[in-house]
Amino acid sequence: MKATTDERLNKKLTGNFIELASTLSKLNESEQKQKIIEMNGMINEMNKNDLDSVMSVELFRDINELINDEKMTVENAALLFGHIGYCKSLFSLTKKNFDRTSLIDSFGGMIFYEYRVKEEKNEKLLADLCECYLSLLDGRFVCSYDIFPISIPCLLKVALNKEESKEAQKEVEMALLALSKIGKYYTIEQNLYLKEIKEIIKCHQEHHNLTRLAYQSVWEFLINRFYHEESLEEVIVNELHFGREAARELEELSKCVKWKKEKENWKEQKEVSVMKRWAETIHNLPSLFNLLQEGFDKLICCLVKLCRASRNDEPELSDATVTWFHSNSRSICDGIGIFLESDILVLFLENIQQSTLKTAIARVSLEFFLDISRRLRRNSIEDFNRKHWKKTKRMVFDQMEEQGCEDVITSFNDVERTDITNVNIMSESLKEYFVFL
């Protein structure tokens, strides 16, 4: 099979990047800096696969040797790896080569030296080193906890900069993106971040001073903390209004995105990356999800639109959203009127009728309808006005009947596929539920 024009261009691009990297040892500090700026420009032109290919163990080892041999300054190393880490985080790449090389120890050592040993701290360099370290990090529990009391206050100080210049906005964005890489597996003391994080979010809500990526990143950092700190629910939901904010951001981002890929080797738009990051953050919040909370009904509507729009170009995102709907079906059913607004029933029927339907998606889709049927058949409705519930139940059932839910679902009994046996059994159960609704 002949390589496409885009594939040949990308291969040339990555080849040129690797070639430039190999010449760095022969250059002085000023020349190195110019070459690194050129290399960073190449990174901007790379797609996810290109960047993944150049972030090799060899690159990390070679640069680490240059640093140890004093053939590259710390500033130049930070200039290169800060940009690589930024793009890695933006694409949500999970390559662990940084974690597997001694460069991780070198950066950690440089951070401690700059913070604790050096008499006059270079705060800009310290922030750059912290950004490199956190944005390149990928493994769980690889990071030393001693890094956090240094890196978190340092990067929050950068993020609190309220200057409106593009340069300042980019620095804030990079600092918050690096902080968002501190995963939910790490327990962080609230006194290290909570006051500043609340200030950053509230300031943006009032003045809209952050980029879209920066705003998503600050929320991701906070949501990751909720994994160990359930006491944050009041702050996240009622004080900072996560449901409302996430819904608004997804709605505005959707207006900027052109989903249709015009080229075979499509370079993902930044807005798409940010939307995917929002979706992933929302997917990590099943225990916080409640349609009765402010904005969460609108958030469901936005996710339905995102799921449908991304079905062809980003099927993994679409499938993950369907699975998330299924895992939260109980909460969705408790606010069952959302079906009448969000088009969620139509979305699931569309998914079931796809010619490329995956067994896993068929299963979660049918289980979703099964949960709806069970909830609609409840005999005792707590915390609901019984008359209102009966009316809502009738409206939902009419919509299900209008869309042909029963016919589509029970048609799975006629499908002869060895990998869909369990799905057939579920569809038989569903038929009974539809009969007695």
What would the pLDDT profile of 313-352 be if each residue is shown by its tens digit? 888 888 888 888 888 777 776 666 676 677 888 888 887 7
- Does the pLDDT at position 419 exceed 70? no
**123-to-96, 155, 361 alpha-carbon distances in Å:** 28, 10, 50
Mean pLDDT along residues 35-49: 93
What's the mean pLDDT when you consider all of the chain?
Answer: 83
pLDDT band at 435 (very low <50, low <70, confident <90, very high): very low
Q: What percent of the chain has pLDDT above 90? A: 43
The whole-number pLDDT of residue 316 equals 84
Any domain includes 8: yes
Identity of residue 28: N
CB 193 within 8 A of CB 150: no
Mean pLDDT along residues 178-197: 93
Tokens for 91? 């694409």
The whole-number pLDDT of residue 211 equals 95
Range of lowest pLDDT (31-40, 275-284, 367-376): 367-376
C-alpha 3/C-alpha 12 separation (Å) is 12
The whole-number pLDDT of residue 380 equals 47
Any domain includes 155: no
pLDDT band at 244 (very low <50, low <70, confident <90, very high): very high
C-alpha 416/C-alpha 338 separation (Å) is 34
Residue bearing the bigger pLDDT, 184 or 118: 184
- Does the pLDDT at position 152 exceed 50? yes
Closest Cα to residue 392, out of 432, 333, 326?
333
The whole-number pLDDT of residue 339 equals 66
CB 48 within 8 A of CB 268: yes
Mean pLDDT along residues 245-256: 92
Q: DSSP letter for 238, please.
A: I
Tokens for 242? 């996560």
- Does the pLDDT at position 416 exceed 60? no
Any domain includes 252: no
Phi first, then psi: give them for residue 97, nearest 5 degrees: -65, -35
CB atoms < 10 A from the CB of 335, how many?
16
The whole-number pLDDT of residue 429 equals 59
Any domain includes 305: no
CB atoms < 10 A from the CB of 46, how many?
19
Domain boundary among 143, 169, 184: 143
The whole-number pLDDT of residue 310 equals 87
Identity of residue 276: K
Any domain includes 250: no
- Does the pLDDT at position 2 exceed 80? no
CB 384 within 8 A of CB 334: no
Range of the domain at 416: 349-437
The dihedral over CA atoms of 256, 260, 264, 270, expressed in degrees to the nearest 10, equals: 20
Phi-psi region of 72 (alpha: psi -120 to 50; beta: other; left: phi over 0): beta
C-alpha 146/C-alpha 151 separation (Å) is 9
Residue bearing the bigger pLDDT, 31 or 370: 31
> How many CA within 13 A on the CB side of residue 185?
9
C-alpha 155/C-alpha 153 separation (Å) is 6
Any domain includes 26: yes
Residue bearing the bigger pLDDT, 128 or 93: 128
Mean pLDDT along residues 276-282: 90
- Does the pLDDT at position 264 exceed 50? no
- Does the pLDDT at position 432 exceed 80? no
pLDDT band at 208 (very low <50, low <70, confident <90, very high): very high
- pTM score of the predicted model: 0.87
- Does the pLDDT at position 411 exceed 80? no
C-alpha 45/C-alpha 148 separation (Å) is 32
Instruction: Render pLDDT for 291-306 as a digit per residue (tens, 0 to 9).
Output: 556 778 888 889 999 9
The whole-number pLDDT of residue 127 equals 97
Question: In sequence order, which ranges of 284-334 are alpha helices (DSSP H)?
Answer: 296-309, 315-327, 329-334
Residue bearing the bigger pLDDT, 98 or 250: 250
The whole-number pLDDT of residue 168 equals 94
Any domain includes 255: no
CB 152 within 8 A of CB 225: no
- Does the pLDDT at position 5 exceed 60? no
Domain boundary among 84, 114, 143: 143
Number of domains in the chain: 2
Domain boundary among 143, 158, 193: 143
The burial of 145, by beta-carbon neighbours within 10 Å (0-12 exposed, 13-18 middle, 19 or more buried), is given as: exposed
Tokens for 234? 């009041």
**395-to-78, 295, 340, 370 alpha-carbon distances in Å:** 59, 23, 8, 17
Q: What percent of the chain has pLDDT above 70? A: 80
**360-to-121, 353, 404 alpha-carbon distances in Å:** 54, 14, 22
Any domain includes 157: no
